Amino acid sequence: MTRRSSWLHRETSVAAAFERRAARAALLAEASINAAALGFAAGLYRAQAQAAAALARPGVTLTGTIEPDLAALGAALDPIVRFAGAEGPPGLRADVDRYATEGPGRLIAWWRGSRAGRTDYLARAVLRPYGETLAAAGVTPEPCTGRAAMGAGCPCCGGPAWIGWRRAGAGDEAPQRFLGCGVCGSERVLGRIACAACGETAPDKLAVFQAEHHPAARIEACDTCQRYVKSIDLTVDGLAIPEIDDLCSLSLDLWATEQGYERLEPSLAGV
């Protein structure tokens, strides 16, 4: 099967990739004004790493069809639910209480629907190790009924892009733009001048906003669809992990919201 997963686990396991993200979040939390969000992210990634390790156990075979796969997984995803219920913000803890009465049916409905964290943050968090494990193994998931982010769904799983980044090109080539999926971790190339949501290419409709105190982060917004994606410049900080370093510049997201833009997919901080 073709390997389509993120650069984060091309040379390691999915569980180790989650641990790597947890370590980055914990490191950044030591000196960030957004330490609470980064600390929560570190704990969530550790719980997701535990779940991913369980999914990699000998004898576990995933088909990409959610209902039989959940039945086969048993309690493998429970560490994520327990962490969210114990350490999450009040709204998330209350959602975990509701999930306790809804059970797997809620996860099945979400997976077969939008696969967007905007519609169900908890389901995205719980099923992310499942999505990344499928992608790393080259298993095609069952289709979802709705393409998230106005047609900008991941070509591998249909989930929405939740972070972008720029990486140096080969030789004299300009840096390339990438989008990362919030469900399966897959990456894809995005045109240098194009809206990540609607595909708009008119330069006068595409706005870029940066702040001096966050030199590696920028808002890439579209005045046609009023959506935006946060992008992290890896040529500024080669150690950055985009979805983690994203949490250091939450003030940019708050500013974008005040200007009337909506993010394609909420970050781990829920914005």
Which of 137, 165, 181 delimits the end of a domain? 137
In a domain, 251, yes or no: yes
Residue 117 CA to residue 124 CA, distance in Å, equals 5
59 assigned to some structural domain: yes
Q: Are 230 and 164 in contact (CB under 8 A)?
A: yes
Helix 66-73 vs helix 104-112: crossing angle, to nearest 10: 150
For 159-204, the pLDDT digits (tens) are 999 999 998 866 666 788 999 999 999 999 988 889 999 999 999 9
Domain that holds residue 45: 7-137
Provide the pairing of β-strand 217-222 with 187-190.
Answer: unpaired
**pTM of this prediction?**
0.92
**Cα–Cα distances in Å, from 141 out to 17, 172, 178, 202?**
21, 38, 22, 34
**98-149: per-residue pLDDT in tens?**
999 998 999 999 999 989 999 999 999 999 999 999 999 999 999 988 654 4
Classify residue 143: in a domain, yes or no: no
Residue bearing tokens 């569980």:
15
Are residue 19 and residue 99 in the same domain, yes or no? yes
164 and 133 co-located in one domain = no
Q: Which residues pair with 217 in a beta bridge?
A: 232
- Give the pLDDT score at 5: 47
Q: 239 in a domain, yes or no?
A: yes
Question: How many structural domains is the chain composed of?
Answer: 2
What is the C-alpha separation between 124 and 181, in angstroms, rounded? 11
